[in-house]
Structure 1
Amino acid sequence: MIRWRNSVSEILDRRNVPDGGAIFVEGDEGTNAFIIQSGKVSIYKLVDGKEECVATLGPTEIFGEMGLIDMKPRTATARSNGGCTIITITHQMFESKLAKSDPFIRHLLTIMAETIRNI
């Protein structure tokens, strides 16, 4: 796991996000996923017109992966909680890695993403 994280962090873009800074907003185009290198990120969903925190994530956790898989609009908002450093995984990088895998795996990921979105 550590070796994987180190190899990923060396080749991807890092971004420092101040406390309260939006990483993405519900409805935005989903093209990237993110790994939290340090700090925390809170995930919010609109419920009856008000934002509700549904999760708070910390270092090494991944978020935004659904958009990376199916490129559909974001279903939640992600904001820095106290400041954080995130690593971006672009759709282009994901597709490049996925192209080398079994086509069955790609199809399975798409089905899983759709199933999770419909929960």
Structure 2
Amino acid sequence: MALEKGRVLERKVFYAGQNVFKEGDSGDRAYLIQDGTIEISKNGLMLATLTKGELFGEMALVDDQPRMATAKALTDVSVVIIGRDAFREKLARSDPFIRGLLNIFVRNIRNLTR
């Protein structure tokens, strides 16, 4: 995800073992990993391991539903925080077909994990 040049970006560090968010939390931001490793899990089952350059937490911004999984730092992790407004602005500028496809993917993923 390319970020706007000249825009001040909020950064945050999560320490190993710290939760970024928990399943069921409301979501108002997504995270872009700058360094470190994040584990995504649901009901104690590991779904994915994410590293530098990967985005997570975006589904709650796409469909305004609670977090479907827990994100936990496996190592010390630095992230760029992408707020709801910035995410929505970028999404609004994308092709309507891609927006529709993204909504379908998010809905299908949520249905599969229920």
Question: How far apart, CA to CA, are the structure 1 residues paired with 2:94 and 2:47?
Answer: 33
- Partner residue in 2 for 1:27: 24
Which of 27, 33, 36 in structure 1 is aligned with 2:33? 36
Question: How far apart, CA to CA, are the structure 2 residues paired with 1:57 and 1:106?
Answer: 24
Question: How far apart, CA to CA, are the structure 2 residues paired with 1:14 and 1:113?
Answer: 26
- Partner residue in 1 for 2:62: 69
Residue 11 (structure 1) shift: 3.5
Q: Does 1:16 align with 2:13?
A: yes
- Of 99-108 and 69-78, deviating more is 99-108
Q: Deviations over 1:67-102 (max 9, x none)?
A: 121110111100111211011111110111222334
Q: Does 1:53 align with 2:50?
A: no
Residue 33 (structure 1) shift: 1.3
Residues 103 and 76 (structure 1 numbering): CA distance in 2 closer, same or farther, change over 3 Å?
A: same
TM-score normalised per structure 1: 0.81
Question: How far apart, CA to CA, are the structure 2 residues paired with 1:44 and 1:109?
Answer: 21
Choose between structure 1 and 2: higher strand proportion: 1
Q: Structure 1 stretches of 5 or more lacking a match?
A: none
Residues 104 and 56 (structure 1 numbering): CA distance in 2 closer, same or farther, change over 3 Å?
A: closer
- Other structure's SS at 2:74 match: strand
TM-score normalised per structure 2: 0.84
Q: Does 1:100 align with 2:98?
A: no
Q: Structure 2 stretches of 5 or more lacking a match?
A: none
Which residue identity lines up with residue 93 of structure 1 in the other structure? A
Choose between structure 1 and 2: higher helix proportion: 1
